[in-house]
C-alpha cells in the first residue's frame, strides 16, 4: 500500500480540501472568500508568495484560477476574490460558511517583494484588479520599514463596483500611504468624495512622484494600454512597471499548453511580468 500512497501523494492534479470560513459580498457580482485547509498538517506547512495564484475547485463544476489575495503573512486562512461570470463562479456564488472547496497551489512566480524593498510602490488597478494588488499592499504594510512611499490608485466603473472599499479607507490612514479612489464618469454617487475619471486620467492628475518607484498595474488590457504612456511620462522605465496577466488556465503548472503565449507559459513564467518582458511576448494573450 505504501507504494500506492506514494503515488497518490504525487498526484499534482489532486486539490487540498478547504473549509469556507467566510464569504463577503464585495460588489453586486464580486465576492471574497476566506478558506483554510481542512488538513492541519497541510495548513501548517503551507506558504506562498504574494502574487501567486491557485486553482480553486468547485467539485462538480470544475476549477477556476484566482490570485491568492491575502497577505502571505497571514497563517489562518487564504483568501480569493471572484466575479460571477461562468459555470464555476456561478456555483461558487452559492457557497457559504462550512462548505468545502478545493485548492491547488500556490502556482506562478509572484511579486518580487524582496527586489522591491527600498523602493516606492505605486499600485494601479481597475475593478476586479484590486484583489491581486491587495495582497501586495498588506504585505508591504506589514513590512513597513522595508518599503518607501505607497500610492494606490484604484478605480471602478461605479461606486458599487469598488472592491475592498473599507480596506482602502484603512490604508489611507497608514503612514506614507496615499490612496486615490476613482470611478468612471457617470459612476459617482452624490456622496462620492473621490475622483471621477478614467484611471489613466486620474493617475496623471494625481502627480505621483516616480523617483525610485516601481509600479504594479493590473486591469483590463485597454486600461493598461492607456496607463502605460502616463507612467512613461512620469519617468518610469519598462523594467520597473509590473503587471499580472490573466489567461485561461487549466493545469497551472505548464503542461496543458493552454496559457502558452509566445515563449512563456503564463502559469509558470508568470503571471507577473515586467513591461519589458511583455514586449518579448507577442500579442497572443
Cβ 247 to another protein, closest distance in Å? 7
Name the residue nearer to another protein (CB basis): 64 or 122: 64
Cβ 40 to another protein, closest distance in Å? 17
Cβ 265 to another protein, closest distance in Å? 8
Name the residue nearer to another protein (CB basis): 7 or 173: 7
Residues that bind another protein (CB under 8 A): 4, 7-8, 10-15, 17, 57, 59-64, 83, 85-87, 89-90, 98-100, 102, 220-221, 246-248, 250-251, 253-258, 260-263, 268, 282-285
Name all contacts of 182-185 with Cβ < 8 Å and 24+ positions apart. Answer: 182/153, 182/154, 182/155, 183/155, 183/156, 183/157, 183/158, 183/159, 184/155, 184/156, 184/157, 184/158
Name the residue nearer to another protein (CB basis): 54 or 148: 54
Cβ 19 to another protein, closest distance in Å? 9
Name the residue nearer to another protein (CB basis): 25 or 279: 279
Cβ 100 to another protein, closest distance in Å? 4
Phi, psi of 104, deg, nearest 5: -125, 130
Name the residue nearer to another protein (CB basis): 202 or 266: 266
Instruction: Give first-to-last CA distance, the chain, whole Å.
Output: 44
Amino acid at each position: 500500500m505504501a507504494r500506492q500512497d506514494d503515488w497518490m501523494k504525487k498526484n499534482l492534479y489532486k486539490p487540498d480540501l478547504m473549509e469556507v470560513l467566510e464569504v463577503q459580498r464585495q460588489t453586486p457580482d464580486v465576492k471574497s472568500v476566506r478558506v483554510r485547509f481542512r488538513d492541519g498538517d497541510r495548513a501548517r506547512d503551507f506558504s506562498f508568495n504574494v502574487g501567486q495564484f491557485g486553482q480553486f475547485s468547485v467539485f462538480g463544476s470544475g476549477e477556476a484560477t484566482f490570485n491568492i489575495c491575502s497577505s502571505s503573512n497571514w497563517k489562518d486562512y487564504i483568501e480569493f476574490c471572484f466575479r460571477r461570470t461562468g459555470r464555476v463562479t456561478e456555483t461558487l456564488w452559492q457557497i457559504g460558511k462550512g462548505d468545502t472547496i478545493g485548492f491547488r497551489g500556490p502556482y506562478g512566480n509572484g511579486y518580487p517583494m524582496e527586489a522591491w524593498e527600498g523602493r516606492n510602490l505605486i499600485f494601479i488597478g481597475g475593478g476586479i484588479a484590486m484583489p491581486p494588488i491587495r495582497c501586495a499592499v498588506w504585505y508591504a504594510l506589514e513590512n513597513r520599514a522595508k518599503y518607501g512611499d505607497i500610492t494606490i490608485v484604484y478605480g471602478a466603473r461605479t461606486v458599487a463596483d469598488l472592491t475592498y472599499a473599507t480596506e482602502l479607507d484603512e490604508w489611507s490612514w497608514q503612514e506614507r500611504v496615499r490612496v486615490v479612489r476613482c470611478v468612471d464618469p457617470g459612476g459617482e454617487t452624490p456622496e462620492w468624495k473621490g475622483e471621477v475619471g478614467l484611471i489613466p486620467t486620474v493617475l496623471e492628475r494625481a502627480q505621483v512622484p516616480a523617483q525610485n518607484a516601481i509600479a504594479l498595474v493590473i486591469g483590463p488590457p485597454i486600461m493598461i494600454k492607456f496607463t502605460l504612456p502616463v507612467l512613461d511620462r512620469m519617468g518610469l522605465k519598462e523594467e520597473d512597471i509590473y503587471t499580472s496577466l490573466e489567461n485561461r488556465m487549466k493545469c497551472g503548472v505548464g503542461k496543458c499548453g493552454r496559457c502558452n503565449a509566445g515563449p512563456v507559459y503564463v502559469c509558470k513564467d508568470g503571471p507577473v511580468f515586467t513591461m519589458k518582458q511583455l514586449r518579448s511576448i507577442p500579442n497572443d494573450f
